[in-house]
Amino acid sequence: MDWYPLFNSLRIAAASSVIVFFLGILCAYYAARLPRTVKGVLDVILTLPMVLPPTVCGYLLLLLFGVKRPLGVFLSQFGIQLVMTWQGGILAASVVAFPLMYRTARGAFESFDQTLAYAGQTLGLSNTYIFWRVRMPACRQGILAGAVLAFARALGEYGATSMLIGYTPGKTATISTTVYQLWRTNDETGALRWVLVNLAISAVVLLAVNLLEDRRKGARP
Amino acid sequence: MSLLVDIQRRLGGFRLNVQFETRGGVLGLLGPSGCGKSMTLKCISGVERPDRGAIILDGETLFDSDRGVNLPPQRRRIGYLFQNYALFPNMTVRQNILCGLHSERDQTKRKTELEKAVRLCHLEGLEEHRPYQLSGGQQQRAALARILVNDPRILLLDEPFSALDSHLRDKLQMELRGLLARFGRDAVMVTHSRDEAYHMCSRIAVMESGRLLTVKDTKALFADPGSAAACLLTGCKNIVPARKAGAYEAEASGWGVRFQTIQPVRDDLKAIGIRAHSFNPMIGANAFPVEYLEEMEEPFERIIVFRYQNQRSDSPPLWWRLPKEHWMEPPLTVLGVRPEDVLLLYQ
């Protein structure tokens, strides 16, 4: 059995999770402090990929990053090509998974007790220290939940990925595209094998999250 | 040690405009909820920015809109005790206190300072507890320890007792007063409770809807509140519109009842205040016929609601509060007030 789709899926999901984690936190942190109207508009734009069909997202990405499209041409000057490459999978998964991270993190930041930050400031703690050692731990539940959802979504991404990077065995194949390809070519056992692999990964991820939560429960009543 | 505050801030339809100066000891900001007390503390500490004005602490300008000075809260060295104490929930008591010692690099000094604060605030044995494992009083002491190790120049206390059960309050007020005295720093305390203000503060500034009505020594404020709003906040139940009737005489408007006073009455008299416990049937001075309406029983006192006979029935009735052992059966016919207990209210 060729394990390439597993490896490819994991690296795409991992890379896009990292990107989405920081980008989502950044956007959520600043969005939580914006005035209401601006926040409303920004919210619609940032959440759109969650409600659009993934194929539509993929189509829009092709419009922007296609080989002859402005951003595609621009990036090709630096030797970067996102269409039909596994790196493009990171873009597709990031776009689709971003709203999950952004929205859960924003909810966590909005329910954060601002007096904790004030207390830190009056004690002379730097804003960076307060952000990483007070705000983030206090919002840990929400941020962790967002990160897990984003990772799971990125791992299961199919629509936008197949639009942008297609299916090339040993190059752009991911678990989800492989399952579809194998099933389409009547390889039932092959498809089932990958389904089981996917189930196993998902179970392990969720189990790990639960264990992590149990262990850290001490910090909160 | 002196703090000079002269700030203005607009927030939606609300306008804050306060000027005051501390003169040592604890200054109380007394006012109803939403009058801008906490906003004032936030501006002093620097976590909120006033629109205009100046804040000067011991000659150092912390904020000055004209000169464009606005020190970040980190550089003001002001201790701020929040209403909910704002202990960091992810840290133990020890880690919380060490946050106040973050600028101290010398490890041995950190350790001794920490131990000193733990002793001073009676936190022995609680060092490894998390905030949620502490009682309200312990949380308050932990938050104070964290503030005191940071060596603030002045303390801001925001409703320090409102999160506590009422039976703990008196004890903790005494504790906090002792701590402040030992620490020897001035403080500004926000409260809406006249009892707390009276126990804790040497001077009191009365606030209402973003404005400062009066600043007085505590005893002087309770003896002579000066305005109807301040009088209400010091717990006076009976405030009656009145006008000047003579050099030492005030007339309750619409009743035709005249009250003798000890203080000379000014022309711009607006109302008089009589505390609920100032009435007495045995006093001959200012004695007037009254009509009994109803009563309410408290554990150790009784409240009797009554009206002067000439008082119009649509005006608010008066309250008399007396200890139970002094209780006498109705009919209640005459009540008097000593002239020195008639509070003259202007503005």
A165-210 confidence digits (pLDDT tens): 999 988 999 999 999 999 999 999 999 999 999 999 888 888 877 7
Quote the pLDDT of residue B2.
86
Domain range enclosing A204: 4-219
* Residue (of A151, A146, A115) closest to A130 by Cα position: A115
Other CB atoms within 10 A of residue A70 CB: 11
The residue in chain A having the minimum alpha-carbon distance to the alpha carbon of residue B83 is A115
A166, exposed or middle or buried, with CB in 10 Å at 0-12, 13-18, 19+? middle
Q: What is the mean pLDDT of residues B164-182?
A: 82
Asked if B12 has any chain A CB less than 8 Å from its own CB, the reply is no
Residue B163 has pLDDT above 80, yes or no: no
pLDDT in tens, A126-135: 999 999 999 9
* Residue (of B228, B246, B244, B248) closest to B236 by Cα position: B228
ipTM of the complex: 0.83
Residue B276 has pLDDT above 50, yes or no: yes
Q: What is the mean pLDDT of residues B70-80?
A: 94
Residues of chain A in contact with residue B90, where contact means CB-CB under 8 angstroms, are: 133-134, 137-138, 140, 219
**Would the CB atoms of A125 and B147 count as touching at under 8 Å?**
no
Count of domains forming chain A: 1
**Would the CB atoms of A123 and B77 count as touching at under 8 Å?**
no
Average pLDDT, chain A: 89
**Would the CB atoms of A122 and B79 count as touching at under 8 Å?**
yes
Band of residue B45 on the pLDDT scale cut at 50, 70, 90: very high
Residue appearing with tokens 């008399």: B320
Pairing relationship of beta strands B186-191 and B154-158 according to DSSP bridges: parallel
Quote the pLDDT of residue B331.
62
Quote the pLDDT of residue A216.
58
Report CA-CA distances (Å) from B219 to A214, B201, B216: 55, 10, 8
Residues A133 and B102: beta-carbon distance below 8 Å: no
Choose the closest CB to A116 out of B75, B86, B100. B86
State the best of A112, A123, A126, A216 to mutate against chain B, taking most chain B CBs within 10 Å: A123
CATH number, position A210: 1.10.3720.10
State the best of A111, A113, A118, A122 to mutate against chain B, taking most chain B CBs within 10 Å: A122
Average pLDDT, chain B: 88
pLDDT, greater one: B5 or B33: B5
Quote the pLDDT of residue B330.
58
- Phi/psi zone of residue B85: left (φ > 0), alpha (ψ -120 to 50 degrees), beta? left
Q: What is the mean pLDDT of residues B316-320?
A: 85
Tell me the C-alpha distance between A110 and A122, whole Å.
Answer: 21
Residue A52 has pLDDT above 70, yes or no: yes
A183, exposed or middle or buried, with CB in 10 Å at 0-12, 13-18, 19+? middle
Per cent of chain B over pLDDT 70 is 97
Q: What is the mean pLDDT of residues B162-180?
A: 82
Quote the pLDDT of residue B308.
82
Q: Tell me, what DSSP letter sits at residue B227?
A: B
Residue A221 has pLDDT above 50, yes or no: no
**Would the CB atoms of A123 and B100 count as touching at under 8 Å?**
yes
Q: Which of A164-168, B114-118, B183-187 bottoms out in mean pLDDT, i.e. has the lowest?
A: B183-187
Backbone φ and ψ for B136, nearest 5 degrees, come out as -55, -45
Q: What is the mean pLDDT of residues B295-318?
A: 82
Report the gap between the CA of B201 and the closest CA in chain A (Å): 23
Quote the pLDDT of residue B240.
87
pLDDT, greater one: B97 or B2: B97
Report the gap between the CA of A134 and the closest CA in chain B (Å): 7
Residues of chain B in contact with residue A118, where contact means CB-CB under 8 angstroms, are: 42, 45, 47, 73, 80, 82, 86
Residues of chain B in contact with residue A125, where contact means CB-CB under 8 angstroms, are: 74, 99, 102
Q: What is the mean pLDDT of residues B135-148?
A: 91
Residue A218 has pLDDT above 60, yes or no: no
Per cent of chain A over pLDDT 70 is 95
Residue B235 has pLDDT above 80, yes or no: yes
Residues of chain A in contact with residue B147, where contact means CB-CB under 8 angstroms, are: 123
The residue in chain B having the minimum alpha-carbon distance to the alpha carbon of residue A113 is B86
**B 146-205 residues with CB below 8 A of A?**
146-147, 150
Beta strands in B12-116 (DSSP E): 14-21, 26-30, 52-57, 60-64, 69-70, 78-81
Report CA-CA distances (Å) from A197 to A186, A192, B290: 19, 9, 90
Asked if B38 has any chain A CB less than 8 Å from its own CB, the reply is no
Q: Which of A31-35, A209-213, B37-41, B287-291 bottoms out in mean pLDDT, i.e. has the lowest?
A: A209-213
**Alpha helix (H) residue ranges in chain B:** 37-45, 93-99, 107-120, 136-148, 166-183, 194-200, 218-223, 228-233
Residue A141 has pLDDT above 90, yes or no: no
